[in-house]
């Protein structure tokens, strides 16, 4: 019963939450000066990632990524801020990510998967789009939502444990409650941010002299490639699948 009450509170908060103003179509946002706090945050993320993934030492792969990032950030007039680009070794992990402080991470699995520099630029422009739009900076309301989803998850675990269930079951209930409430409350905005980053990325590619049709061909390939297509549990994912991106 307490979990239902917290769920209702979360939905109520979401309904009156202030959202970021959308970036106008065709506009590539100007980036403000990166703060020392953001730089430190990104460095801490790097330290955590390198506990699980080795840094790539292949200059050819590193320069391939850095050259595209330089081209895209120069087109965005964001070259005045430092950009930290790292390639991490895991051929089975096909992903890229960006975080505060202009830190961009690309895994070797992604580099093996993309068929061209145009496809790689599509992904990098998307990640840079997140940074330019400020998506990596949580609003106070988003921080509250995350906090409350954590509280709800804790209550779920306590309720199950009080019913005499095995501790593992209680832990699982807590995890699922967090994920489901996060999907209900946080991810609608997250999916909007993903599509906005796609939009920014396409115009950023054009400004950098990279054919934006590479993005369309990449998403079309992703739609039919099991390695590239989005999760079937799209509701629980912050990334829209390729079908939605092509609409």
Mean per-residue pLDDT of the chain: 72
Alpha carbons 138 and 104: distance in angstroms, whole number:
18
pTM of the model: 0.67
Task: Please give the CATH topology (third level) of the domain spanning 36-135+189-238.
Answer: Zincin-like (3.30.2010)
Segment 153-182, tens digit of pLDDT: 444 444 445 555 545 444 544 444 444 444
pLDDT at residue 33, rounded to an integer: 83
Residue ranges per structural domain of the chain: 36-135+189-238, 141-185
Q: What is the mean pLDDT of residues 35-52?
A: 90
pLDDT of residue 30: 74
Q: What is the pLDDT of residues 219-235, one digit of tens each?
A: 888 777 666 654 332 32
CB 211 within 8 A of CB 118: yes
Residue of 78 and 26 predicted with greater confidence: 78
Q: pLDDT value at position 149?
A: 45
211 CB-near residues (< 8 Å, 6+ apart): 118, 205
pLDDT for 87-144, tens place per residue? 999 998 888 888 889 999 999 999 999 999 999 999 999 999 989 988 776 654 444 4
pLDDT at 215: 86
> pLDDT for 48-78, tens place per residue?
899 999 999 999 999 999 999 999 999 999 8
């Amino acid at each position: 019963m307490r979990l239902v009450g917290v769920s209702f509170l979360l939905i109520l908060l979401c309904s009156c939450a202030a959202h970021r103003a959308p970036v106008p179509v065709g506009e590539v946002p100007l980036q403000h000066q990166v703060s020392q706090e953001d730089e430190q945050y990104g460095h801490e993320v790097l330290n955590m990632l390198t506990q699980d993934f080795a840094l790539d030492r292949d200059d050819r792969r590193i320069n391939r990524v850095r050259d595209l990032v330089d081209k895209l950030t120069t087109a965005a007039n964001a070259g005045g801020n430092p950009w930290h680009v790292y390639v991490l070794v895991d051929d089975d992990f096909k992903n890229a990510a960006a975080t505060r402080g202009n830190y961009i991470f690309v895994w070797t699995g992604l580099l093996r998967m993309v068929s061209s520099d145009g496809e790689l630029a599509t992904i990098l422009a998307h990640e840079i789009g997140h940074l330019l739009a400020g998506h990596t900076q949580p609003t106070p309301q988003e921080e509250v939502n995350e906090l409350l989803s954590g509280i709800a998850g804790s209550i779920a675990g306590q309720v199950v444990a009080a019913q005499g269930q095995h501790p593992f079951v209680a832990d699982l209930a807590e995890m699922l409650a967090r994920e489901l409430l996060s999907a209900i409350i946080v991810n609608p905005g997250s999916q909007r941010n993903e599509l906005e980053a796609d939009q920014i990325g396409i115009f950023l590619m054009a400004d950098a002299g990279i054919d934006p049709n590479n993005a369309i061909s990449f998403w079309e390939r992703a739609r039919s490639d099991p390695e590239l297509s989005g999760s079937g549990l799209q509701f629980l994912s912050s990334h829209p699948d390729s079908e939605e991106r092509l609409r």
